[in-house]
Chains A and B, each alone.
Chain A
Amino acid sequence: MNDTVENKVEERRNFLKTGAVVAAATVAPGVLMYGVAHSRAPEEAASGNVRWGMLIDSSKCGDGCNDCVTACNTENGLSGETGPQDTQYIRKLDIKDLRNGRVHSLPMLCQHCENPPCVDVCPTGASMKRADGIVLVDRHICIGCRYCMMACPYKARSFVHEPLTDQNPEVPRGKGCVESCTFCVQRVDRDENPACVDACNSNGHMAMLFGDLNDPQSPVSLAMQTQPSTEVRADLRLNTGVRYQGI
């Protein structure tokens, strides 16, 4: 009896010792975490230490410029049509302040909420938030019920009504599923910006910043620390990953 108790104590001691060693080992890379967070090995799962987000300065957004939308369509193999049954991951909206008539334009896309209503209502678990905050639809189990489309306050989701051909190998999409902006997850996973952000940067508007909101040193966090930014429908307390300036 005594023997087993002592054995247990001994085991526990050993466990604690190893625990301490493991903790020491993880703290050291933890210091570097921010530095390496952006380059993830292919076999490494998306980490909850990262939260991808975007800051859009609508005052820099070019009037009549549609480059982000075009780049998105190209990257994701969308038709570019804007009818009620066509898929749009990102749309340019023109907003008018009725009191003074000020008009400006901004891109609207999936806001990658921390508490996404689309995920709440999904009956199959197809609508999901990845560990790094990217909200996605798992088309393998989406049944096309479209509850998520009704739940989304940003009208960010689309339904594929017709059979598709010639998909981008990196962006599988097909009839009968709901879909929306993925922050170009295939690009993010290989350490690139979403296509819209790259397009906005390359045409010189620089209205979109993409990065890790959990990293205080990332350009997007630095911009948010120094300048005011707003969530669209902040009253819903969804803690969106996409923030706007100048609206």
Chain B
Amino acid sequence: MARLANWLRLAAMMVVSAMLAVTTFSAAAGVDLPKLEKGKGDKCVEDTQYMRKNHMDLLKHQRDDTMRRGIRTTKHSLKQCVECHASSNTGSVASSKEDFCAACHSYASVKLDCWDCHATKPGVKPIKQGSTGQTSNARSTLSSSPLLASGMNGGVK
């Protein structure tokens, strides 16, 4: 009888420790990695791993070339990133947490202020002055993105 009780105690301890191990393991894995929507086209302008590590440097280099010297190649331009990576849902790269830029940046908790000035959607033309009701409707459906984006990345302006 005593032997059975011992055996039961051992079994109970094993079960408990197994459960503990499972919880600690899942805590160590952290939150899920961001799921990114695949961009347009076959592949990115550079290797994916390279882009993950170096996209900010490419963008900064391109920004100075374009802004200061008038070089307008599209390969590493922010506008071109937006063209390919705008979400099929929101049409933007940073208006919801699932969008391409926002997904990783909120995961890594890195605030980016590109979208304070730059458009998050491709090819949105500004609305004409004194526009008709139809165009102002178009405007309201397009509104939101940059503000939402910076708010979401922890930036209160």
* A171, B147: Cα distance in complex, Å: 17
User: Min CB distance, A83 to chain B, in Å?
Assistant: 15
Which of B74, B119, B143 has the most chain A CB atoms inside 10 A of its CB? B119
Contacting A74 at CB < 8 Å: which of B128, B147, B157?
Answer: B128
Using a CB–CB distance below 8 Å, which chain B residues touch chain A?
Answer: 63-65, 67-74, 79, 82, 116-119, 121-130, 139, 142-147, 157
- Residues in A149-200 with C-beta less than 8 Å from chain B: 163-175, 177, 185, 189-190
User: Min CB distance, A62 to chain B, in Å?
Assistant: 17
Q: Which residues of B are found within 8 Å of A172, using beta-carbon distances? A: 117-119
Which of A128, A172, A177 has the most chain B CB atoms inside 10 A of its CB? A172
Flag if B68 contacts A130 (CB, 8 Å): yes
Flag if A132 contacts B139 (CB, 8 Å): no
Q: Is the interface of A mostly helix, strand, loop or mixed?
A: loop
User: Min CB distance, A143 to chain B, in Å?
Assistant: 14
From B157, which residue of chain A is reached at the shortest CB distance?
A163
Whether, in the assembled complex, A236 has its beta carbon less than 8 Å from a beta carbon of chain B, the answer is no
Flag if B117 contacts A139 (CB, 8 Å): yes
Given A75-B126, A76-B126, A165-B145; A43-B71 close (CB under 8 Å): yes
- Count A-side interface residues using an 8 Å CB cutoff: 39
Q: Known pairs A70-B128, A166-B124; list 19 more (Cβ under 8 Å).
A: A42-B71, A44-B71, A45-B65, A45-B70, A45-B71, A74-B129, A80-B130, A130-B68, A136-B67, A138-B67, A163-B116, A166-B139, A167-B126, A167-B146, A168-B119, A169-B118, A174-B117, A185-B70, A189-B72
Contacting B129 at CB < 8 Å: which of A73, A131, A138?
Answer: A73
